[in-house]
């Protein structure tokens, strides 16, 4: 259901003790304080808000006791990145661990939201606000965990780094810099990304799986443009840029790329299908047994949370055309965003789109060069640390490697040779996930239940 209106429903942030047992601890209060503050900052693409978030977090970490020389706000054009070193004693003799997140968020039109997008609000079940899920949840949890560990006197056996980018939702210029131009980060043994991986729960609150992102699809965008001389709107002509483009868009909508699979996607769909049951679960299990079962892949294809696990997808995301209400359009352009299955060549995707459109007059322009990266092989020690973090919350949950259908900062770090694993603290029903959409939200229970997630993982991996 789409709710349209300008009514702003602001709720108190007082949290019922029934939500979780530790809502009144200093760590819980600090995490909520940080979360509330950074949600209130409009850190959208190329805005001063990104630098404001970085400066605020840097100040919180310095106030907590981190040396100023170990907290660096890195200007990157109009935005900024943040690097924070947590010094270890070096006893392990191993490279650092990077802890990733991004401070920027997707734009939000205030008039479309029921709640104010840049103010943390809540009801009995969810926290609402732009970035509550993607990715200020992870940024707040990681920042407060660093503060908590320092105040507890924890000394890891190697260096740890918070590495927060400032434009993950757009050009990833800061991500590229962090992954490729900082020698201290390049020395990392691996990275853990708060912006990927999750625990899936069903309608009854039972955990289905916890997925650890070990790979992700390649992000690539094209603009498709139709041009002609135009003319006076009183004299319509057979060639109309908007109509021609509309036909191209419809053909892209109808086009399906070939089915693809990997060991990780097959394992994920098999396990999830067995837990989920029903018609969709049966299709997942059948696909895992035989990825060439078209009835199974067709059934999965209509489920938005899972279609990206089985093929490359391309979708129209923006549209513009014409120049005057009383003139025939001289041009019309659609933006088509694709998420490419690992291993599928980008030229093959372009050729598939061009064949689907079937009109040589449609111009294709690649917006920027895509970055592909290999899958990361999950070390047993990382799996064990994640298991230690999620098992107390959901003892029967099954851990699975996973390929995300979306792209994250992890692409650049994998491309730079740093194995990267998405291991967010969140557990939620996939149907409740509204990242990039209206009234973005995260379960209050997930927020508080995840407070120990990162400290457990860090202690498990660094010898405490």
3-state secondary structure of 311: strand
Q: What 3-state DSSP class applies to 197?
A: coil
Per-position DSSP letters for 38-76, written without gaps between them: HHTS---TT-HHHHHHHHHHHHHHHHHT--GGGEEEEEE
277 contacts 202 by C-beta, under 8 angstroms = no
Residue 78 pLDDT: 93
Q: What is the pLDDT of residues 310-355, one digit of tens each?
A: 999 999 999 999 999 999 999 999 999 999 998 899 999 999 999 9
pLDDT of res. 464 = 60
Give the tens place of pLDDT for each residue, 236-287. Answer: 999 999 999 999 999 999 999 999 998 888 988 998 898 789 999 999 999 9
* pLDDT of amino acid 9: 26
Instruction: List pLDDT tens digits, range 361-412.
Output: 999 999 978 888 888 999 999 999 999 999 999 998 989 999 988 889 999 9
d(CA 324, CA 346): 36
For 65, the token pair is 């006791």
Cβ neighbours, 10 Å, residue 344: 19
pLDDT in tens, 141-179: 999 999 999 999 999 999 999 999 999 999 899 999 999
Tell me how many degrees the CA angle 39-81-103 measures, rounded to the nearest 5: 20
Mean pLDDT of the chain: 92
Q: Which two tokens stand for residue 209?
A: 């799986």
Three-point CA angle 444, 450, 452, nearest 5°: 140
pTM: 0.83
Is residue 11 scored above 80 in pLDDT?
no
- CA atoms of 316 and 139, how far apart (whole Å): 30
Q: How many Å apart are CA 190 and CA 174, to the nearest integer?
A: 19
Domains identified in the chain and CATH numbers: 26-196+408-461 (3.40.630.10), 218-366 (3.30.70.360)
Q: How many CB atoms lie within 10 A of CB 366?
A: 12
Asked if pLDDT for residue 457 goes beyond 90, the answer is: yes
**What confidence score (pLDDT) does residue 256 get?**
96
- Other beta carbons within 10 angstroms of residue 28's beta carbon come to 18
d(CA 405, CA 206): 24
DSSP letter (8 states) at residue 366: E
Tokens standing for residue 398: 């099954």
């Amino acid at each position: 259901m789409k709710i349209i209106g300008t009514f702003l429903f602001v709720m108190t942030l007082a949290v019922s003790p029934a939500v979780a047992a530790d809502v009144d601890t200093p760590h819980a209060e600090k995490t909520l304080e940080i979360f509330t503050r950074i949600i209130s900052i409009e850190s959208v693409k190329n805005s001063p808000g990104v630098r404001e978030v970085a400066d605020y977090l840097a100040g919180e970490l310095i106030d907590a006791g981190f040396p100023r020389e170990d907290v660096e706000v890195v200007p990157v054009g109009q935005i900024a990145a943040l690097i924070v070193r947590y010094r270890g004693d070096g006893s392990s003799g191993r490279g650092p661990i990077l802890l990733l997140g991004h401070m920027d968020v997707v734009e939000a039109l205030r008039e479309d939201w029921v709640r104010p997008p840049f103010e943390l609000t809540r009801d009995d079940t969810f926290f609402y606000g732009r970035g509550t899920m993607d990715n200020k949840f992870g940024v707040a949890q990681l920042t407060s965990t660093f503060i908590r560990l320092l105040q507890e006197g924890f000394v890891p056996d190697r260096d740890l780094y918070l590495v927060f980018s400032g434009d993950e939702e757009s050009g990833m210029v800061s991500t590229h810099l962090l992954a490729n131009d900082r020698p201290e980060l390049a020395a990392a043994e691996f990275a853990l990304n708060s912006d990927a991986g999750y625990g899936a729960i069903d309608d009854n609150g039972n955990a289905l799986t916890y997925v650890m992102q070990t790979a992700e699809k390649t992000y690539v965008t094209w603009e498709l443009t139709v041009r002609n001389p135009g003319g006076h709107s009183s004299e319509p002509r057979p060639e109309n840029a908007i109509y021609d483009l509309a036909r191209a868009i419809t053909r892209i909508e109808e086009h399906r790329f070939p089915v693809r699979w990997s060991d990780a996607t097959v394992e994920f769909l098999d396990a999830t299908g067995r837990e989920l049951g029903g018609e969709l679960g049966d299709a997942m299990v059948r696909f895992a047994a035989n990825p060439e079962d078209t009835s199974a892949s067709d059934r999965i294809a209509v489920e938005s949370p899972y279609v990206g696990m089985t093929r490359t997808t391309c979708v129209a995301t923006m549209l513009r055309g014409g120049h005057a209400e009383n003139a025939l359009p001289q041009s019309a352009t659609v933006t088509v965003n694709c998420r490419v299955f690992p291993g599928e060549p980008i030229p093959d995707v372009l050729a598939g789109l061009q064949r689907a459109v079937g009109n040589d007059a449609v111009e294709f322009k690649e917006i920027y060069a895509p970055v592909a990266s290999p899958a990361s092989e999950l070390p047993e020690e990382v799996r064990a640390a994640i298991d230690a973090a999620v098992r107390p919350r959901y003892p029967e949950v099954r851990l699975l490697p996973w390929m995300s259908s979306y792209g994250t900062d992890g692409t650049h770090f994998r491309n730079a040779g740093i194995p990267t694993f998405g291991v967010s603290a969140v557990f939620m029903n996939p149907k409740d996930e509204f990242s990039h959409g209206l009234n973005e939200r995260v379960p209050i229970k997930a927020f508080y239940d995840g407070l120990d997630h990162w400290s457990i993982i860090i202690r498990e991996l660094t010898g405490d």
